[in-house]
């Protein structure tokens, strides 16, 4: 029972610390959504040159996309004519950080970490893009035409204002809610079961600790925002700040699915450039923090709560009210994720007959977020005869309605985006 109480206390303490900053970060995510719609982003990713790589890394740093969402987005840009180097730059810089995770990093790890993290994301993205450009020296990028997966931003003040709050607090929240909850639970669990100074006693030095963290983090997925409380708690247990930065870089930027998809769709040399930039960048950045920068810059802010002191920057009422609002938003997102609407209608095989309204249901693998949902829906709708397409993220089912459409063409279009149709009902 004592462990359960301690777990709940640790969970609530961490949640109080990050809630105000996380809500502010979501608001900035909404601003980014309005200021940088998909068409504008893809416009600046074209070209096999330094400028496009630079643009891709700059655009990717504040963009609120996790690695599950950035892969189909990056592949969509690539198939619309973006070069391999700019695509790799985007794929590296985007998932490492974002407007929301920067604010959470500030709240839990301090301002120096919050500044260093996006700078490192930008530099590793730039390095990865330029390294890929070097690996493909002499090759010409092949433009792959496909459906336009960007969504128009509404016009008018009121519609834009609604979109400013709807996107981050409803749609994007659905993408991040599950991973945010998992990250918080893991952080609280680590805080309870791992003794103080455990990593300081067990790891054979800072650099060795970075390598061990790197090996563990590359194949698994950790959301950029959810990784922050985990890193903060591990630092309180003795993990060096440099090793924590390695976790914050490699965890969100890589996972087994991402590695497989990049190698399959963009080639082995692209994958080499992608992984090399993350590994080298993480170790260099971690070493700079551990060996060159003052240690007092990297003290987790939740240390004050653990020590029993009261050094809160924000008033208690703001932290508490923010936590309550965030809980309600997370619950609403989880409700939308795990209580999906049941698809209605009769599933049919093959092509639809002209002049009749038919429904076809496909099962698609690789969809993880609302960005994936839009990609697949727009890909299906782009085909002649399709009047509507609706995705259920939880089941992976895609319901297609229309008249006279060709199912094989729809499947080919969806698979060209990097997804896989595994069953046709």
Domains and CATH numbers, the chain: 2-332 (no CATH), 358-424 (3.30.70.100)
Choose among 331, 314, 231, 328: nearest CA to 17.
Answer: 314
Q: Comparing 119-128, 149-158, 172-181, which segment has the lowest mean pLDDT? A: 149-158
Q: Quick check: 230 and 183 in contact, CB under 8 A?
A: yes
Mean pLDDT within 87-108: 85
**pLDDT tens, position by position, 220-278:** 767 777 788 888 888 888 888 999 999 888 888 887 767 877 887 778 888 999 999 99
Mean pLDDT within 382-393: 84
3-state secondary structure of 141: coil
Quick one: CA torsion of 350, 355, 359, 362, rounded to 10 degrees? 40
Mean pLDDT within 205-229: 79
Most confident range (mean pLDDT) of 182-196, 250-264, 394-408 is 394-408
In the structure, what pLDDT confidence band is assigned to residue 292 with cuts at 50, 70 and 90? Answer: very high
**DSSP-derived secondary structure for 181-229:** HHHHHHHHHHHHHSPTTHHHHHSSSHHHHHHHHHHHHTTS---TTTHHH
Mean pLDDT within 113-122: 92
**DSSP-derived secondary structure for 53-88:** HHHHHHHHTT----HHHHHHHHHHHHHTTB-HHHHH
In the structure, what pLDDT confidence band is assigned to residue 409 with cuts at 50, 70 and 90? Answer: confident
The DSSP letter of residue 168 is I
Q: Quick check: 363 and 425 in contact, CB under 8 A?
A: yes
The pLDDT > 90 percentage for the chain reads: 14
Mean pLDDT within 396-417: 84
Determine the Cα–Cα distance for residues 7 and 274; give it in Å rounded to an integer: 38
Mean pLDDT within 357-363: 84
3-state secondary structure of 319: helix
Residue 309 pLDDT > 70, yes or no? no
Give the CA count within 13 Å in the CB-facing half-sphere of 59.
29
Write down the pLDDT at residue 188.
79
Tell me the β-bridge partners of 270: none
Q: How many Cβ atoms sit within 10 Å of the Cβ of residue 390?
A: 16
Residue 23 pLDDT > 70, yes or no? yes
Write down the pLDDT at residue 174.
80
Write down the pLDDT at residue 120.
93
> What contacts 209, CB < 8 A, 6 or more positions away?
199, 203, 239, 240, 242, 243
Give the CA count within 13 Å in the CB-facing half-sphere of 212.
11
Q: What share of the chain is helix, strand, coil (3-state, %, to 5)?
A: 65, 5, 30
Could you list the beta-strand ranges (E) of 274-419: 358-365, 386-392, 397-402
Write down the pLDDT at residue 308.
40
- Supply the pTM of this predicted model: 0.65
Residue 122 pLDDT > 80, yes or no? yes
Higher per-residue pLDDT: 351 or 159: 159
């Amino acid at each position: 029972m004592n462990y359960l109480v301690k777990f709940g206390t640790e969970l609530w303490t961490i949640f109080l610390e990050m809630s105000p900053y996380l809500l502010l970060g979501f608001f900035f995510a909404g601003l980014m959504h309005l200021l940088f719609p998909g068409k504008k982003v893809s416009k600046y990713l074209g070209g096999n040159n330094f400028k496009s790589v630079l643009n891709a890394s700059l655009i990717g740093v504040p963009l609120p996309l996790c690695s599950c969402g950035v892969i189909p987005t990056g592949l969509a840009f690539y198939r619309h004519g973006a070069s391999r180097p700019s695509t790799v730059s985007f794929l590296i810089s985007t998932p490492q950080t974002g407007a929301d995770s920067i604010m959470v990093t500030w709240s839990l790890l301090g301002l120096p970490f919050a500044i260093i993290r996006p700078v490192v994301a930008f530099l590793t993205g730039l390095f990865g893009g330029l390294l890929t450009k070097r690996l493909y020296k002499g090759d010409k990028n092949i433009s792959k035409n496909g459906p336009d997966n960007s969504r128009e931003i509404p016009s008018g003040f009121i519609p834009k204002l609604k979109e400013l709050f709807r996107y981050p607090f409803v749609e994007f929240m659905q993408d991040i809610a599950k991973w945010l909850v998992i990250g918080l639970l893991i952080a609280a669990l680590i805080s309870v079961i791992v003794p103080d100074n455990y990593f300081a006693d067990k790891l054979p030095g800072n650099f060795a600790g970075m390598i061990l963290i790197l090996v563990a983090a590359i194949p698994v997925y950790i959301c950029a925002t959810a990784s922050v409380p985990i890193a903060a708690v591990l630092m309180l247990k003795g993990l060096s700040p440099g090793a924590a930065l390695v976790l914050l870089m490699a965890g969100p930027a890589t996972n087994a699915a991402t590695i497989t998809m990049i190698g399959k769709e963009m080639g082995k040399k692209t994958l080499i450039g992608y992984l090399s930039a993350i590994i080298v960048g993480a170790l260099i950045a971690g070493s700079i923090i551990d060996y060159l920068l003052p240690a007092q810059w990297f003290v987790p802010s939740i240390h004050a709560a653990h020590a029993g002191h009261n050094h809160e920057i924000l008033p208690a009422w703001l932290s508490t009210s923010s936590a309550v609002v965030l809980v309600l938003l997370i619950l609403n997102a989880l409700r939308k994720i795990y209580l999906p609407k049941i698809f209605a209608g009769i599933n049919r095989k093959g092509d639809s007959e002209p002049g009749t309204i038919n429904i076809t249901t496909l099962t698609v693998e690789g969809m993880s977020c609302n960005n994936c949902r839009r990609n697949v829906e727009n890909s299906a709708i782009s085909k002649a005869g399709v009047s509507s397409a609706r995705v259920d993220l939880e089941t992976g089912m895609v319901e297609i309605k229309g008249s006279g459409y060709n199912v094989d063409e729809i499947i080919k279009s969806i698979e060209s985006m990097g997804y896989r149709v595994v069953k046709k009902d």
